Amino acid sequence: MRKFNAVVLGGAPNVFIEQYNPTIEEEYRCELIVDGHKCVFTALNEKYLKNARGFLLVFSLTQESSLRDIENLRQQIYLAKGSDKDIPIVVVGTKLDLSNEREVSRATIHELAESWKLPFYETSAKRNWHVTDVFEDLVRQMRKHSPDRNPVRSKLKKDPCIVM
């Protein structure tokens, strides 16, 4: 069985919910196939920072304050893991479909992506825009970061990789 530990901070469940549904003290799961291997992502609270091997930092494109919160989470990750380490992180702006309510500009995202040296994605869970791309990027970063843990298996074998 392939195991990854990743934390989705500020994440959302696999099913889109119209009402705001925070992940604090809750667990959500998302399953997908990346490069022929089944991966399971679990959103957990911050106590798992130290053991996690990858992170999704999720903010709302319609709420600029949520982007500032991501900076705090990013700093917590570097404090827990060590700022000198190459840590798999993907930053995700959600609610791309709500363009008329957008508060975070693409220019701001571009500046942060360059200064943080992290990939940023704009997604819509409601419309399922670019959601899989985010998880695929993180899994590939984690594989690159820890190549010794990559399985030598044929595509779509039953043994899943588990991302927590």
Count structural domains, the chain. 1
Exposure string over 103-142, b if 16+ CB within 10 A, otherwise e = ebeeeebeebeeeeebbbbbbbbeeeeebeebbbbbbebb
Reading the chain (164 residues) residue by residue, the pLDDT tens digits are: 444 555 555 544 455 555 554 444 445 567 778 888 877 665 555 556 777 888 889 999 999 988 888 888 888 888 888 776 789 999 999 999 999 999 999 999 999 989 999 999 999 988 999 999 999 999 999 989 877 655 544 444 544 555 54
- CATH number of the domain encompassing residue 48: 3.40.50.300
pLDDT of residue 63: 92
pLDDT of residue 35: 85
pLDDT of residue 10: 53
54 burial level (CB within 10 Å; 0-12, 13-18, 19+): buried
Domain that holds residue 7: 2-163
Largest CA distance in the chain: 47
pLDDT of residue 80: 80
pLDDT of residue 62: 94
